[in-house]
Amino acid sequence: MPEGDTVWLAARRLHAALAGEQLTGCDIRVPQHATVDLTGQVVSEVVSRGKHLLMRVGPTTIHTHLRMEGVWHVYDHGDGWRRPAHTARVLLSTARVQAVGFSLGMVDVLPTSEEARVVGHLGPDLLGADWDAAVAAENVAREPDRPVFLALHDQRNVAGLGNEYVNELLFLSGVRPTRPVSTIDVPRLIDRARLVITTNRDRGRRTFTGSTRPRQTTWVFGRDRQTCRRCGTALERGELGDDPTRQRQTWWCPTCQT
């Protein structure tokens, strides 16, 4: 699933392409909003909120979430699309460009004044203007017996972290995914999360090890049946979730993560 830095970059690119431009075409290809036409309205801004993307057009917001497969592309008119046309969910045209959202996991259209209805539940955004490390740490610490892996995943606590970030942050912090929140230095962990995601935001390729070479960017995430880059111990893998329908994969080093 795309994480907070991916959505932040998507919002930045869309804002650069669309902000201040009048829509010359609007095609929203989801049944509940198929009749919406914002043609003639001006795009004021495009911003991210955690993993959510908010495109403000006149008095209206187009709210999208990439989920697992989603992506936004910007094309010059006449350029061929790099994704199949049948996966396009939102098409927005201006005199200069066309923005296309493919395989979007969520598409909603609502008055901008009601954005809190779709993002108001989120905790402080690691890459947002509302970032507040103290509030994020307080949110995570509210459930002292909860595994830290699940507390960091919870977007109500802190917005923007996905599975890759959570697994890698816990390795960098020497913390096993199952450790209760009460045993963790939460403020320090939150500060590290902010540092790592902010640094990666400005890189061409996300990395946690410092290397941008293929298959060298992570310490534990996705490294099935491999050994720890730091100590050589065989990595372990499991699943954690608040219930059986929300299990997420975990990877850890049994030596480096206590």
Does residue 249 have a pLDDT over 80? yes
Categorize the per-residue pLDDT at 136 as very low, low, confident or very high, splitting at 50, 70 and 90. very high
- Compute the average pLDDT of residues 70-84: 96
- Residues 187-234 pLDDT 10s: 999 999 999 999 999 886 899 999 999 999 999 999 999 999 999 999
Domain for residue 258, yes or no? Answer: no
Q: What is the pLDDT of residue 205?
A: 84
**CATH code of the domain in which 240 resides:** 1.10.8.50
DSSP, residue by residue, 118-178? HHTT---BTTSTT--HHHHHHHHHTSTTSBHHHHHH-TTTSBS--HHHHHHHHHHTT--TT
Q: What is the pLDDT of residue 173?
A: 97
Residues 84 and 163 placed together within one structural domain of the fold? no
Q: Residues with catalytic annotation? A: 2-3, 51
Residues 110 and 148 placed together within one structural domain of the fold? no
- Compute the average pLDDT of residues 29-42: 97
Residue the block writes with tokens 């372990």? 236
Rounded CA-CA distance 66/9 in Å is 13
**CATH code of the domain in which 108 resides:** 3.20.190.10
**Residues near 32 by Cβ (< 8 Å), separated by ≥ 6?**
none
Q: Of 126, 131, 99, nearest to 4 (Cα)?
A: 126
What is the identity of the amino acid at 159? A
**pTM, full prediction:** 0.93
The average confidence (pLDDT) of the chain is 96
- Residues 107-135 pLDDT 10s: 999 999 999 999 999 999 999 999 999 99
Contact 184, 177 (CB under 8 A): no
Residue % of the chain over a pLDDT of 70: 99
Q: What is the pLDDT of residue 2?
A: 81
Residues 12 and 106 placed together within one structural domain of the fold? yes
- Domain end among 64, 85, 119: 119
Residue 121, CA distances (Å) to 26, 39, 65, 161 in order: 29, 30, 15, 15
- Domain end among 91, 119, 147: 119
Does residue 1 have a pLDDT over 90? no
**Residues near 155 by Cβ (< 8 Å), separated by ≥ 6?**
50, 51, 121, 122, 123
Domain count, the chain: 2
Residues 181 and 231 placed together within one structural domain of the fold? yes
Categorize the per-residue pLDDT at 18 as very low, low, confident or very high, splitting at 50, 70 and 90. very high
Secondary structure letter of residue 42 according to DSSP = B
Residues 98 and 208 placed together within one structural domain of the fold? no
Does residue 32 have a pLDDT over 90? yes
Q: Determine the structural domain holding residue 15 and report its residue range.
A: 4-119
Domain for residue 165, yes or no? Answer: yes
Domain for residue 127, yes or no? Answer: no
- Compute the average pLDDT of residues 237-254: 93
- Domain end among 88, 119, 150: 119
Contact 180, 146 (CB under 8 A): yes
Rounded CA-CA distance 113/108 in Å is 14
Q: What is the pLDDT of residue 244?
A: 84
